Amino acid sequence: MNKSTQTLQAAAHGGAFHIEDIYPLIDGGRFAVKRIVGEPIEVWADIYRDGHEVIAAALIWRREQDSAWQRVPMTHVVNDRWSATFTPQQLGRHAYAIEAWTDEFATWRHGAELKLKAGQDLSLDALEGAGLLTKAQTDDPEVLRLIQQRCEEYLRTGDITPLLSPELRDAMATSQVRQDLTRTDPLPLTIDRPRARYGAWYEMVPRSQSSEPGRHGTFRDCIARLPDVAAMGFDVVYFTPIHPIGATNRKGRNNALKAEPGDPGSPYAIGAEHGGHDAIHPELGTLADFRAFIDACEVVGIEVALDIAVQCSPDHPWLKQHPDWFKRRPDGSMKYAENPPKKYEDIVNPDFSCEDASSLWNALRDVILFWAEQGVKIFRVDNPHTKPLRFWEWLIREVQLRHPDVIFLAEAFTRPKLMKGLAKLGFTQSYTYFTWRTQKWEIEQYLRELTDYPERDFYRPNFFTNTPDILPFHLQGGEPWMFKSRLVLAATLSSTYGIYNGFELLEHEPIPGKEEYLDSEKYEIKVRDWDKPGNIKPYIRDINRIRGANPALQQTSNLRFLEVQDPNVTGFVKTSVDGTSAVAVAIALSSDYHEFWLPLGDVQIEVAGERRPVVAVENLLTGERHALDWGGINLRIDPHRDPALLFRCLA
């Protein structure tokens, strides 16, 4: 047999079906779609084959570690478009696929009904139909009994009617040999817990939580702060690194190259004689103290997030234990971290291309696993874009196979496609450019990008108003209205957002000409009056309370901007995943007085299984209700009183 004949035979016996334009799908199935446990997932695909045969399709899914598939029939919608919905009930990595096959009995039945309607002779057709019944295969005794009964009725009477019954059609749909079954390759899916999509983060530098000037903060001081943080409505406390800090090349105040006696150094210069990434800075307390902090957080409904920085001080134990993990310069000196022209003399980076890279990878994985075993299930990863992408894909998979509830946040302010690439390969959440988006057009353009397809299926934004590294220029004036405006923008545009401690106190003194804090607590210990006059803690509390009470604000993707004519007011409406909650928001972007029209005439809410138009709104801060007039409402904002209006939509 020649090669051409073999090719023709293979083609003749190949799959008859084309299954294409599948949704949801990321890069042809290279990366996982992300969803939340317990929520329905709708899947669509175009499915077709040659000829007029009746086809059937099914959606199948399973956890990655399971062998058995679960399945649900797909329904033909229109124009070869098929759809089905399934609801994973467990966390972790899943796979789903689509199957299609020819329904021989349904094809026979359809033809027979057409001939019957036309008055044609069906004697041979009836014999063909009965012959198909003899090929049925099922383990269900009730189904088998029905098929046998209909076959016997036909054989006894010669009447085709029993073979055309709807009950027999349904029984045969599950009992035929599917000779031309075609299945797509398994497509990856990650099922996360709700915290992956919704949360309010409070970034805390633990050594600065002391109430006594000159004293290093401890975990016990952090526990004392929890009632205040919980009262503001935050549900994640995020610690900067808690590990021992190196002494070699320790940085002084304001990033000075030389530390003075008593300077604590940067917490990102990780590692000293007391240990490395799996150790705790001794002045913070013990591992037992840290566990006590986690327990105290649980009592008030807060989770703990840890900062993971894959870098070492020159004093890190790994430099002695594994010197081959690090690069040296031609003269034999240590190669310190740098981002030219910046140099970080107190930090060295592991060499991911070293000969013993596998041991380095395993050690870093074990660091995450160690903290996960202590009860930490959220990790903010510092500068992941400077490490190999394949490493993160491997590490996240390794950790989540053991702890499927672990969440990874990518702290990467870098090129857009690289940021999205990190999200695709496994990071649960991602930092964004929100911090620098200030104009109406750029805010709206950026959110449309994040909520469009396919980004909405893999990129979960976490909007931070500020960070220890970033004091944006628009906050440097210290204007309360601006702090409030940025807070509400972050908290309502994104379902996950965060502030860095001190934001609530309107801290705003910069290094002149830079977006950095003067006297940054990255290099010194600060003691604050957390009830300082002029703080906006009550405002933060109200916004977080509103978020918690309105499911529409607990997701990001279902966002639509409204046509507000004022160039310095952005208006939008958000709808919950199930469609039953809708919130309209208007936020001032300048300090001027604003009067404008907010159009809501085409907004709808799901009520008792049907879509109904919005007829009124309720102010979520004051409780006042207003009926819509001509499909909208006329509003006024005085930013110096409150730069934002939030309304629950009522049908």
Indicate which residues carry an active-site annotation. 382, 411
For residues 540 and 487, the answer to whether their CB atoms sit within 8 Å is yes
The answer to whether the Cα torsion of 272, 276, 277, 282 is positive or negative is: negative
Which one, of 61, 84, 307, lies nearest residue 191 by Cα? 61
Residue positions in the annotated binding site for alpha-maltose 1-phosphate? 251, 311, 346, 383, 522-523
Q: How far is CA 520 from CA 247, 254, 524, in A?
A: 19, 6, 7
Q: How far apart are the C-alpha atoms of 418 and 635, rounded to whole Å?
A: 41
Q: How far apart are the C-alpha atoms of 239 and 216, rounded to whole Å?
A: 15
| Edge-first strand listing for the sheet containing 236-239 | 429-430, 407-411, 378-382, 303-309, 236-239, 199-204, 496-500, 463-464
Residue 446 region by backbone torsions, left for phi larger than 0, else alpha for psi between -120 and 50, else beta: alpha
For residues 438 and 589, the answer to whether their CB atoms sit within 8 Å is yes
E-only strand ranges, 232-335: 236-239, 303-309
Q: How far apart are the C-alpha atoms of 484 and 588, rounded to whole Å?
A: 10
For residues 74 and 103, the answer to whether their CB atoms sit within 8 Å is no
Neighbours of 520 (CB within 10 A): 19
Q: Which two tokens stand for residue 636?
A: 């006024």
First to last CA, the chain: 72
Q: Which two tokens stand for residue 201?
A: 């983060």
Break the chain down into helix, strand, coil percent, rounded to 5: 30, 25, 40
Residues 6+ away with beta carbon under 8 Å from 337: 311, 343, 344, 347, 348, 349
Buried/exposed 223-232: b ≥16 CB within 10 Å, e otherwise: bebbeebbeb
Q: Which two tokens stand for residue 426?
A: 């496994």
Half-sphere exposure of 470 (CA within 13 A, CB side): 17
For residues 459 and 587, the answer to whether their CB atoms sit within 8 Å is no
Q: How far apart are the C-alpha atoms of 506 and 518, rounded to whole Å?
A: 14
Q: How far apart are the C-alpha atoms of 552 and 571, rounded to whole Å?
A: 15
Q: Beta strand 182-183 with 17-23: parallel, antiparallel or unpaired?
A: unpaired
Which one, of 294, 234, 140, lies nearest residue 537 by Cα? 234
Neighbours of 474 (CB within 10 A): 17
Q: How far apart are the C-alpha atoms of 472 and 225, rounded to whole Å?
A: 26
For residues 333 and 326, the answer to whether their CB atoms sit within 8 Å is no
Q: How far apart are the C-alpha atoms of 151 and 129, rounded to whole Å?
A: 9
